[in-house]
A and B are shown apart, each in its own frame.
Chain A
Amino acid sequence: MSVISDTYLKLHAKWSLQRTVAELLSKRWMEPAVPFIMMLGVIVFCAVAIPNYLTLDNLTDTSSQFAEFGFVVLAMTVVLVVGGIDLSVGAIFAMADFIALVLFNVYELPIGLVVILVLLSGGLLGAINGFLIGYLKLGAFLTTLVTLIIIRATFDLTAPTFAIDIATSYNESAAWEFLGEGTLWGIPANVCILMVIAVIGHALLSRSRPGWHIAAIGSNRKAARHAGIPINRTIFWTYVLSGMLCSLGGLMYAARLNSSASNTGDGLEVMALTAAVLGGVSLAGGKGSVGRALIGATTILVLINGLVRLGVTGGPTFALEGLIMLVAVGIDVKWMKNKNKAISKIYVVPALLDLGELPDATENSDSIYAQNDALTNAEPIGLGKVDGPEDVILDRQGRIYTGTREGWIMRLSGENFEDVEVFARIGGRPLGLAFDRDENLLVCVGGMGVYGVRPDGEVFKVTDETNRTRWKIADDSRLRLADDLDIAPDGKIYFSEATTRYEMHSWAMDGLEGRGNGRIICHDPATGQTRTLIRNLMFPNGICLAHDGQSIFFALTWICQIKRYWIAGPKKGTVETVIENLPGNPDNINRSSDGNYWLAMTGMRTPAYDLAMRMPGFRTRMVKRVPPDEWLYSNINNGSVIKFTAEGEVLASYWDKSAENHPAITSMREHRGYLYLGGLMNNRIGRIPLPDADPTWDSSDSYWGPKA
């Protein structure tokens, strides 16, 4: 392999564009972000391509039109969110324009009354739609198509009879003028009104009960019905609202132009629909917001205006509009459907991980790791009664505690541990265990955080979050996979979070990725604060406080290393490597009675696995093309336990050569002359006698001294 590609692969191990994209895509704010960027693009394009585009006059003119159009897009949006469509928006708009002009110019009604009557008429037209669609359950598309035709025809019939009256009227009103051409702090009045309505609409749609009902019906009508939402009524009122918003737009139009033409509001429904969909309002219903509607409205209006000013009119504009609509709808339909699929396709980003030459651990080799039978005949405890005892710990009374797959802490007691009881029900996946000074059992719970169980079985939360990593797209403040913990003499709890990218049930995927996704975190019960100490670790797993209390040892599972982090003394805050290139994946670490440390190896590296770890492309394709049950892992059907010194010298290894009783050994705990074994996927706890060990030593004494 060339030096350049080697360097690239190593850099890729630290940082990946693909991962950034995957994390970006899973952000909710990315959905409106794309339309927003598109809007900015269109504005920049027009500003550059059209001379004098950014002058105040032009902006005021465009934004006045924007207010009218914005109302119509809002009207379209609310019915799209409820899962319908309103094709009659343009006709209602025209009708409202006409009614407003007649009331004001011909009947010379006061402006306040005109506004109310116009809104009422818009609401009435919307109510016709709403009644037909909400109560009679006629299809939204056909119904509004029919009302479009009828309202349009009525408009065409009646408008000419008043045309001359309107044109020759000289009714004047300051309020009317203000509505049409006035400005507030330089902003057109109608835009101000739109903004006020938009804020109210946003609150209504996203923060109020009716708004949630609308979105719920649009997302899943049947589920909404089962939840007791009044579907018919809500749909009815949504169309009424739509009609009123349209009529408001028509009113603005009337005030601004003071005239009515036969083509008023023509084709407005298609333009509004395009704008809404372009802004990210889903045609399938349930998804959309006022903000998105306005983003879409701006984009379309600026684009069409820009084209007109560039001299493109009529046919080509319509064709372009249709084309944009087609693309927007296509993206809407395909993207919404496949987004999660796309994210999951690119979420796993394997990196190069060169583990070094595999140490010989075969039987009959003279390696210290050589395979043997020391654990094969371990005495089974709780056989068939514990489901996946990841970690085991014993209290001062010699009772065993272990966390199981069900989310329980089991307690095994009695002469031969025949009394098996559920000590506490926490939920999640209990992993590492430790007793604190007050004999509370602290537990790392995968999927939840760090919890504690008092001696009477009461469960309490210790911490479930830490400080968020700066400059990281994905929010990693919640604990996803707290793995193991230990407690310093000052009461501080040091724990590992194996990965921030995967859940408990998909931990093995993190191994396929082979990246530093984990961290070491410290929680101080005195202040209640949780702080991340070390980041970007490759599956930090077991944690153990050194006998002198000055440092913690931690295991890095995928990279097969043991490291040491100094929490006190002259080297405080530094990390050093204790053991490199283990023949297997290290898991939990615990103290041994002779002043050394036990380490469980949950799985053994295989040559084929090591090779795959050196070939990230191979693993990427494997994840895509091979079903998960066939992916390559390190051999977790075999495991072993080793003992090492604080300096990193390996003293002994213990194997179950048959690999039938103790595969995937995830933990071990020495207690009064015995070594107890746990396994993540096993159905038993095992124990073997340690003839050379101190038969009085137990870990509670070792940590907290003999009980007073």
Chain B
Amino acid sequence: MTARWLEMAMDVVFPDRETHAIPMMDGPLRPNSALDECPVLAELTQPDDLTFTDDGALLTSSGTGVFATDGKAVAQFDGPVTAIASLAGGRLAACVDGIGVVLSDGRRLEQVNGKPLHCATAILEGADNVLYIAQGSAKHAEADWVRDLMEKNASGRIIRWDLDTDRSETIIDGLAYPYGLALDHDRRSLLFTESWAHTLSKLPLDVDPGRGLREVLIPNMPGYPARIATAPDGGYWMCLFAMRTEMLEFVLEEDDYRNEMMATIDPAYWVRPTLRADRHFLEPLQGGGFRVLGIIKPWAPPRSYGLVVRLDEDYEVVASLHSRADGRRHGITGIAVNNGLVVAAVKGDDKVITIQEEGRP
């Protein structure tokens, strides 16, 4: 409550100060229905992360396995696969919740700096046989991500694993659910998204770990960013798995309500972002979401949403593809680029879709 009053006082004294209010979805973020029109590449149950192999084949993680586009299992694990990357030499790296990082040659990384490596949300191969791994939360498994959001945790970290020396270390800690990793075009710094902070940041790789020389590139996104991929023709592709809403931000500030909700209500029926809104009768309903004359308005406050954005070299959003409240392509968690082909994993709609391919904008 005190914080509220302080906030109001600050509003009066510094009316133009930087706030973390939800930014408008205008300009290049103007909503459309482009995602709903994208062709389907594969149908898989809850596809999560994507990676292209050296020879251009697409691999998708789904449940406890990794699958090819024709649905054939490439690998199976003893736990949910939370991130994958294909490495040079045809190897595959998979993050398995409950185990850690597993390479197809059998090597494993189960803990770093004395802390177990669960909830790994992204894995990326850097130069010189080094892997970078994002751990979303130190407190919850990946499946419980919504609890991590509602507890407003910032316990994630990014890990460097040198395969040559087998040395692993935390290079930055205390992150609010890092979810996506990509190499900058100069290949000398690492880009990472932080979902709960709605930011995209940059971390130089050639300084000592733990120095925290991060630079925030996008300070305030209208949604929760997930994975990000470097586009070979310049710029980046990034997906946001759900949108922030005023109600959600409000509940995140209302500690009594949120704690009571977490303690007493099934997470499926919380006021929360989700990958797929089932429109179940026990899900909370907001005024704008009333079905009027048979129609749910596209601008209804989204419980789930689909959004893929294109960033240019200066990390400015230049284009976006949406699936709005009345669409189905919601909860996009994975994005991968191979030459001119851009694909996205629509976890909320059990599909892998083609965002862009050569000869088609």
Chain A residues with CB under 8 Å of chain B are 361-362, 371, 387-388, 508, 603-604, 606-609, 611-612, 615, 617-618, 621-622, 625-638, 659-661, 663-664, 681-684
Contacts and interface: CB of A to CB of B under 8 A. Distances in A.
B269 A622 contact: no
Contact of B247 (A388, A603, A632, A638): A632
Given A361-B281, A632-B247, A683 B293 contact: yes
Contacts of B264: 607, 611
B293 A604 contact: no
Contact of B284 (A362, A609, A627, A684): A609
Given A611-B260, A626-B250, A630-B245, A606 B290 contact: no
B247 A371 contact: no
Contacts of B260: 611, 615
6 contacts: A606-B281, A608-B284, A631-B287, A635-B281, A637-B279, A637-B281
A296 B332 CA distance: 68
B291 A608 contact: no
B265 A638 contact: no
Interface string B282-297: 1111111111111010
A633 B271 contact: no
A622 B250 contact: yes
Contact of B285 (A362, A634, A661, A681): A634
Contact of A635 (B261, B271, B283): B283
Given A618-B257, A635-B281, A659-B281, A630 B286 contact: yes
A606 B285 contact: yes
B256 interface: yes
Given A626-B246, A632-B285, 20 more contacts: A603-B285, A606-B285, A607-B261, A609-B284, A611-B261, A618-B254, A626-B250, A628-B287, A629-B300, A629-B301, A630-B247, A630-B286, A632-B247, A635-B281, A635-B283, A636-B285, A637-B281, A638-B279, A660-B291, A681-B293
Contact of B287 (A621, A633, A661): A633
B18 interface: no
A635 B284 contact: yes
- Chain A contact residues: helix, strand, loop or mixed: loop
Nearest to B248: A630
Contact of A632 (B256, B284, B292): B284
B270 interface: yes
B271 A631 contact: no
B164 interface: no
A503 to B, nearest CB: 16
B246 A606 contact: no
B55 interface: no
A629 B325 CA distance: 14
Given A660-B294, A683-B293, A608 B271 contact: yes
A607 B266 contact: yes
A340 to B, nearest CB: 21
Residue of B264, B281, B296 contacting most chain A CB atoms (<10 Å): B281
Contacts of A362: 282
Residue from B261, B269, B292 with most neighbouring chain A CB atoms (10 Å): B292
A611 B263 CA distance: 11
Contact of B256 (A603, A615, A627): A615
Question: Among B261, B264, B282, B284, which residue has the most Cβ atoms of chain A within 10 A?
Answer: B282
Contact of A608 (B250, B265, B293): B265
Nearest to B265: A607
A681 B290 CA distance: 9
A682 B295 CA distance: 9
B294 A630 contact: no
Nearest to A615: B257
B168 to A, nearest CB: 42
Nearest to B282: A606
Contacts of A615: 256-257, 260
A621 B284 contact: no
A625 B249 CA distance: 10
A630 B287 contact: yes
Contact of A625 (B250, B284, B287): B250
B286 A663 contact: no
A93 B157 CA distance: 83
A508 B287 contact: yes
Given A637-B289, A663-B291, A681-B290, A604 B282 contact: yes
Contacts of A636: 285, 290
A362 B287 CA distance: 23
B276 to A, nearest CB: 15
A621 B261 contact: no
A371 B294 CA distance: 20
A247 to B, nearest CB: 50
A664 B286 contact: no
Contacts of B287: 508, 628-631, 633
A629 B246 CA distance: 10
Contacts of B257: 611-612, 615, 618
A621 B250 contact: yes
A451 B197 CA distance: 57
B270 A608 contact: yes
B269 A607 contact: yes
Contacts of B269: 606-608
A626 B287 CA distance: 11
B285 A607 contact: no
A606 B284 contact: yes
A633 B291 CA distance: 13
A632 B245 CA distance: 12
Given A608-B265, A608-B269, A611-B257, A683 B283 contact: no
Nearest to B297: A629
Interface in B291-342: 291-294, 296, 300-301
B290 A631 contact: no
Given A604-B281, A621-B254, A630 B301 contact: yes
A606 B283 contact: yes
B296 to A, nearest CB: 8
Contact of A631 (B247, B279, B291): B247
A633 B256 contact: no
A420 to B, nearest CB: 15
A630 B261 contact: no
B246 to A, nearest CB: 5
B246 A630 contact: yes
Contacts of A663: 290-291
Interface string B170-210: 00000000000000000000000000000000000000000
Contacts of A371: 281
Contacts of A629: 286-288, 300-301
Contacts of B285: 603, 606, 609, 632-637
A664 B270 CA distance: 21
8 cross-chain pairs, A with B, having the tightest CB-CB distances, nearest first: A629-B288, A638-B281, A608-B284, A683-B293, A604-B281, A630-B247, A607-B265, A635-B285
